[in-house]
Amino acid sequence: MSENRPQQIVLASRPQGEVSVDNFRLEPLSLPQMADGQVLVRAEYLSLDPYMRGRMDDRKSYAPPVAIGAAMEGESVGEIIDSRHPDWPVGTVVTARTGWRSHAAVVADGLRRLDPAAAPVTTALGVLGMPGFTAYAGLKEIGKPTHGETLVVAAASGPVGSLVGQLARRAGARSIGIAGGAEKCRALIEQFGFDVALDHQAPNLAEALAAACPDGIDVYFENVGGAVLDAVLPLLNRFARVPVCGLIAQYSGASTDGPDRMPGLMRDILTKSLTVRGFINYDLAQLYPVFLQEVGDGVRDGSIRYREDIVDGLEAAPAAFIGLLKGRNFGKLLVRL
Amino acid sequence: MSENRPQQIVLASRPQGEVSVDNFRLEPLSLPQMADGQVLVRAEYLSLDPYMRGRMDDRKSYAPPVAIGAAMEGESVGEIIDSRHPDWPVGTVVTARTGWRSHAAVVADGLRRLDPAAAPVTTALGVLGMPGFTAYAGLKEIGKPTHGETLVVAAASGPVGSLVGQLARRAGARSIGIAGGAEKCRALIEQFGFDVALDHQAPNLAEALAAACPDGIDVYFENVGGAVLDAVLPLLNRFARVPVCGLIAQYSGASTDGPDRMPGLMRDILTKSLTVRGFINYDLAQLYPVFLQEVGDGVRDGSIRYREDIVDGLEAAPAAFIGLLKGRNFGKLLVRL
């Protein structure tokens, strides 16, 4: 069985603009010698996330790029199958930064222990993992929606956006979700309880958004960039907050053809007393325990919903990741190994 | 004497781009009938400030525009010469929103009582008034410079920038001031104690700024926009803060010729976890009492310095204001009536 043959996907070449499958290479993997304090994890589910696009470029960012020939970075849920650490016995189910690998020897200190009885283990990569925490921390620390306010989020059927919408409604705010296509928009209303769902594939997004926000926008949770931001800016209210956790629309390069929109953005920031603040989830790690408690309770009692999009086999990861960058996934994208 | 002939300056026409003296008109003023609760103030010093440029345009902003034919808005220091309010007797020295007028009947509730023995009354329009409070509140609430950090501010010989630099140094930060010309740069060092003064009229501002900031920039106090912002952006550190209180370089219109710099700005905000936040001083009015105490003490004991640029006669206000927008003033610009 393929899961017994260790393998990995490495970065074969850096993308020029859009990512192609040729930028990746599937390779056999030799199991490493383990050092004291390490454990060997066999990955069961690999998380695919937009931030990985940034690691493929040789540009300065908050984390160094993946080297050519090195395994793509990433987090998995898996089982410890060998251990050189007394606190982490064989059989423990954990999240680990394995990269895009079937097996990885990792230092135990970075692991998170999972209780498969408490919640499906895949949630540790989605609603109860990094994407969910990004939604929670960005709202708690920056967005701060309050009763009667209006919040807008794009990629709203994804693992960040779908939780942003649900948490905004819990805070008493109206939530407007933007997604691609009728099926996703239906899920926004029926599964995630958004007040309004807008299809960014339909013409006249700006007009539709304006009509959906008669009292303007108080929080725009930015994970996309591009055309959605253009539609949002004129509608922002005084003292609006814009947490910025992602810009997926420009990860493969953004056109810098004019007009220059920066003077207009700065004017809006000044005249409307806007707060525009970028964050990486681990900037706000102090909120992690309360997030796990609060959102974990919601997942367990069914009041917080989530959706997963699972593909099979490590070899499927490159095409699935490219689909993610184009918005083809529908829910949290995972690779089952 | 002209000060006994009431007069005012009204907005004669809206500027198309840059302001010209033809946009203003000096008119005789009939003293108004006073209502109960009002006082009549004779203005002694009128404050000229960059925000007034915004009021000349018929564009949505945080305050409504001045109507054509109406007096330009503004704040003065003056004396109460008639009173219909028991708490505000004739002879009291106050700040009042008189507009560009020699005399104004105003509601007493908006007045601030001044003690000419405590500090020169003109400081109530500068270092101890709106510009000083803008510097103080923007640093206290948003910029938050700490020991060992690097702060940059432009228009650094003006009433906002000069206090920003001094307060940054009090907090233990290095302060880099940018101003136009050798004389102003000398004052930055000798009068205001900046660590480094850079002349934006010299070539290669970006290179000079990079050399002056070997550890990057942690706080950029934005009151200018334009070329200074371009030079600052690549130097901002992770978690840098950008309070935005003004954009004087683009008040008369900014070129939107490409390239489009917005995607790059958003990428910096994301990958560096930047906070870019606009504010108007009165957004943060709760800080006013502690500002008056703290900066007032510094002015009285001489540890906080300030500089004034005074022109004579209301008829001089239009040309002086145009000079302000071009950076020709040297210190807080006031019109002595």
Nearest to A45 by CA among A92, A8, A79: A79
What was the pLDDT predicted at B293? 96
What is the arithmetic mean of pLDDT over B135-162? 97
Percent of chain A with pLDDT over 90: 87
B279·A271 Cβ contact <8 A: no
CA A220, A225, A227, A233 torsion-angle sign: positive
Of B245, B270, B278, the CB nearest to A246: B270
pLDDT tens digit sequence for B278-294: 999 889 999 999 999 99
B258·A262 Cβ contact <8 A: no
A276, A279, A282: best mutation site toward chain B, by most B Cβ within 10 Å? A276
B278·A273 Cβ contact <8 A: yes
Side chain identity at residue B299, one-letter code = V
Looking at B180-315, which runs of residues are DSSP E strands?
Answer: 196-199, 217-221, 236-244, 275-278, 308-312
A244·B278 Cβ contact <8 A: no
B250·A260 Cβ contact <8 A: no
pLDDT tens digit sequence for A275-307: 999 999 888 999 999 999 999 999 999 999 999
Percent of chain B with pLDDT over 90: 87
B98-129 CB burial, b ≥16 within 10 A, e <16: bbbbbbbbbebeebeebeeeebbbbbbbbbbb
Instruction: Answer yes or no: is pLDDT of A1 > 50.
Output: no
A141, A238, A262, A268: best mutation site toward chain B, by most B Cβ within 10 Å? A262
CA B121, B126, B127, B132 torsion-angle sign: positive
Local confidence band at B225 (pLDDT 50, 70, 90 cut-offs): confident
What was the pLDDT predicted at B2? 44
| Rounded CA separation B72/B36 (Å) | 25
Peptide bond into B259 cis (omega under 30): yes
CA distance B96 to chain A (A): 23
B52-77 CB burial, b ≥16 within 10 A, e <16: bbbbbeeeebeeebbeeeebbbbbbb
What is the arithmetic mean of pLDDT over B117-127? 96
Instruction: Answer yes or no: is pLDDT of B309 > 90.
Output: yes
What is the arithmetic mean of pLDDT over A258-280? 94
Which residues on chain B are in Cβ contact (under 8 Å) with A63?
none
B270·A247 Cβ contact <8 A: yes
Q: Which residue has the higher pLDDT, A59 or A292?
A: A292
Which residues on chain A are in Cβ contact (under 8 Å) with B277?
269, 273-277
What is the arithmetic mean of pLDDT over A98-119? 93
A271·B61 Cβ contact <8 A: yes
Lowest mean pLDDT among A124-128, A212-216, A243-247: A243-247
Local confidence band at A238 (pLDDT 50, 70, 90 cut-offs): very high
What was the pLDDT predicted at A106? 95
Instruction: Answer yes or no: is pLDDT of B199 > 90.
Output: yes
Side chain identity at residue A161, one-letter code = G
Local confidence band at A2 (pLDDT 50, 70, 90 cut-offs): very low
Instruction: Answer yes or no: is pLDDT of A95 > 90.
Output: yes
Local confidence band at B240 (pLDDT 50, 70, 90 cut-offs): very high
What was the pLDDT predicted at A23? 97
Are B180 and B328 contacting, i.e. CB atoms less than 8 angstroms apart? Answer: no
Instruction: Answer yes or no: is pLDDT of B3 > 70.
Output: no
CA distance A301 to chain B (A): 34
Percent of chain B with pLDDT over 70: 99
B256·A261 Cβ contact <8 A: yes
CA distance B71 to chain A (A): 22
What was the pLDDT predicted at A205? 93
Q: Which residue has the higher pLDDT, B279 or A110?
A: B279
Local confidence band at B208 (pLDDT 50, 70, 90 cut-offs): very high
The residue of chain B with its CA nearest to that of A60 is: B271
What mean pLDDT, rounded, does chain A reach? 94
A256·B265 Cβ contact <8 A: no
B256·A263 Cβ contact <8 A: yes
What was the pLDDT predicted at A59? 85
Instruction: Answer yes or no: is pLDDT of A58 > 80.
Output: yes
In order of B19, B205, B245, B257, the CA distances from B231 in angstroms are 27, 7, 18, 18
The residue of chain B with its CA nearest to that of A54 is: B271
Instruction: Answer yes or no: is pLDDT of B4 > 80.
Output: no
| Rounded CA separation B303/B318 (Å) | 34
Of A244, A250, A276, the CB nearest to B263: A250
What is the arithmetic mean of pLDDT over B79-102? 96
What is the arithmetic mean of pLDDT over B244-267? 87
Q: Which residues from A are below 8 Å from B when comparing CB atoms? A: 54, 60-62, 222, 225, 229, 238-239, 244-247, 250, 254-280, 283
**H or E element, residue A300:** helix A288-301
Lowest mean pLDDT among A86-90, A278-282, A333-337: A278-282
Q: What is the ipTM of this complex?
A: 0.93
pLDDT tens digit sequence for A12-34: 999 998 999 999 999 999 988 89
The residue of chain A with its CA nearest to that of B61 is: A271
Strands B332-336 and B308-312: parallel
Local confidence band at A126 (pLDDT 50, 70, 90 cut-offs): very high
**Beta carbon pairs, A and B, within 8 Å:** 132
Nearest to A59 by CA among A98, A15, A22, A18: A15
Query: What is the C-alpha R_g of chain B?
Result: 20
Q: Is A295 helix (H, G, I), strand (E, B) or coil?
A: helix
Which residues on chain A are in Cβ contact (under 8 Å) with B234?
none
Percent of chain A with pLDDT over 70: 99
**What are chain B's domains?**
2-126+308-336 (3.90.180.10), 130-282 (3.40.50.720)
Cα angle A62, A67, A69; round to 5: 150
A256·B278 Cβ contact <8 A: no
What was the pLDDT predicted at A237? 98
Instruction: Answer yes or no: is pLDDT of B1 > 60.
Output: no
What is the arithmetic mean of pLDDT over B11-16? 96
Instruction: Answer yes or no: is pLDDT of B122 > 60.
Output: yes
Local confidence band at A109 (pLDDT 50, 70, 90 cut-offs): confident
